[in-house]
Amino acid sequence: MKRNLKTSMLSLLLWAVSSTLSAEGLVPSGCSIGDKPVYAPISTIGIFFDEGVRVLTVGEVCIRKDGVTVARGTLETSDYTDGESVRKTVSISFGDALILPKGGNYTLVVPEGCICAEENESRTNRELMVDFVVPAYISAATPSVSQDAVVSEESRIGFYFDTEIAAVDGAALTLLREGIPVGTYPCKASWDWDLGYAGVDFGERMKFENGVRYSLMLPEGSVSSLHRPDIQNREETLSFTGGCRESAATLDYVWCSLFDSHPDGTLGEVTFHYTQPVVLAENAVIQLCETATDNTVKEVVPKLEETSGKWLLTADFGKFPLLPAVGYSIVIPEGTLMAQEGGKVLTNRRSMIPVADSSGISLQETSGCSITCSDGVLRVEGVVPGTPVSIYTHEGRLLHSVKAGSSTETFHMGQAQCCIVCIGHKAVTVAL
């Protein structure tokens, strides 16, 4: 998608006829400036005629801003063949490329009597005036996907501009899920005949979870006009809803500090380990709840840091006192963390991990129960009938939940390697 300089100059002379061109007498049929914002330095401006013309050595051609002359040019004639017809062109040259200050309205002025008919010198132009603008910013973009559309999967998403563009060094777009940034991608920019494109190339077909709101944000100053690096874009945002109905994978931690560091009557820092890059939601919290009622008793803002290839999510409960007769669980709400993996934007589901009894080791000492496991079957003995018994995975996903019907309950554990057993208000981690 590239053009050489010769083609670029030719396109300048082929711009549409300016609606702002006004004159009497010898009337031109068009001008190469005025109908579109000017995003490039000005070397030559063409004025077109449908008859033979020549230039008289009278008057001075200029560009004015607010009535003040800011540039002067010289006139010469040339022919341009368009198919089978020959168009007469009066070219206005400004020597070195003219870079007018951006964000201004300008007027090209060709004084009366500078151009005459080739066959009748007495028939000359009246004063010609063409208004044009050098914008402060590139015009608003058109997204490659309709605003608020439903998008199941895409490999590329971006924005189209009405001029040729180039990416600014280091420019990147941000993908957000429900308003939370989940990925940053280098800005891929390209251009063609008076058009530009800037967007994301995911490298694969990215799947967008059904019913979830996404947005893609191109920050201000990410791209510039190809020939005027100082004229850049405003911020652009595309919003859409995911439509992929495939079961979405979730983010799960691989270890929790509670597995080997049990509270002694108060709860301080608790850390969750992740083995893939994750980002923290803007208003993320982690909660301490009463297990039986799910009532939140304390809520803290977590910290996230990367250490030796692991991402550590830490919540400090500030030595919160744990009442001996109450069972507690730590809850990581859904959407606390996000990541990108395998063409999908992942988020965590709601996780709940029981806070073990102060002994942290044996239920026998505190509840009179014993736990054994053999051939994938977990056996709880000594439980009082009617007592709630729950089994969780180590990341807090509920596997079984019953009220004991007798003093012994059995549970089939499948391929699980580790679990958390809650009996009443007591909890313990068990290796299977």
How long a stretch of residues is the chain?
A: 432
Q: Is 395 helix (H, G, I), strand (E, B) or coil?
A: coil
Domain 364-431 has CATH 2.40.10.10: no
For the domain covering 142-242, report its CATH number.
2.60.40.1220
pLDDT at 6: 33
Tens-level pLDDT at each residue, the chain (432 residues): 443 333 333 333 333 333 344 444 789 989 999 999 999 999 999 999 888 898 987 667 999 999 999 999 999 887 666 666 666 789 999 888 899 999 999 999 999 999 999 888 889 999 999 999 999 999 999 999 999 999 999 999 999 999 999 999 999 999 998 888 877 899 999 999 889 999 999 888 888 989 999 999 999 999 999 999 999 999 999 999 999 887 666 788 888 888 777 787 889 999 999 988 898 887 889 999 988 788 999 999 999 999 988 899 999 999 999 887 788 889 998 888 888 776 677 888 788 888 865 333 344 444 568 888 888 888 898 888 888 888 877 666 678 888 888 889 999 887 777 787 878 766 677 766
DSSP letters, 244-296, are B-SPPPEE--SEEGGGT---SSEEEEEEEEESS--EE-TT--EEEEETTT--E
| Amino acid 47: pLDDT | 92
Fold of the domain spanning 250-355: Immunoglobulin-like (2.60.40)
What integer pLDDT is reported at residue 98 of this predicted model? 94
Q: Assign residue 395 a region: left if phi > 0, alpha if psi is -120 to 50, beta otherwise?
A: alpha
Q: How far is residue 1's CA from residue 196's CA, in Å, rounded to a whole number?
A: 10
Domain range annotation of the chain: 5-134, 142-242, 250-355, 364-431
Contact status, residue 422 vs residue 383, Cβ threshold 8 Å: no
Structure tokens at 94: 């400004």
Exposure on the CB side of residue 235, measured as CA atoms within 13 A: 6
Judge whether 142-242 and 364-431 match in fold. yes
What phi, psi does 5 have (nearest 5°)? Answer: -65, -40
> In this predicted structure, what is the pLDDT of residue 362?
43
User: 310-313: long-range contacts (C-beta < 8 A, 24 or more apart)?
Assistant: 310/273, 310/274, 310/275, 311/273, 311/274, 311/275, 311/276, 311/277, 311/278, 312/271, 312/272, 312/273, 312/274, 313/253, 313/271, 313/272, 313/274, 313/278, 313/280, 313/286, 313/337
pLDDT at 249: 67
DSSP 100: P
| Secondary structure (3-state) at 121 | strand
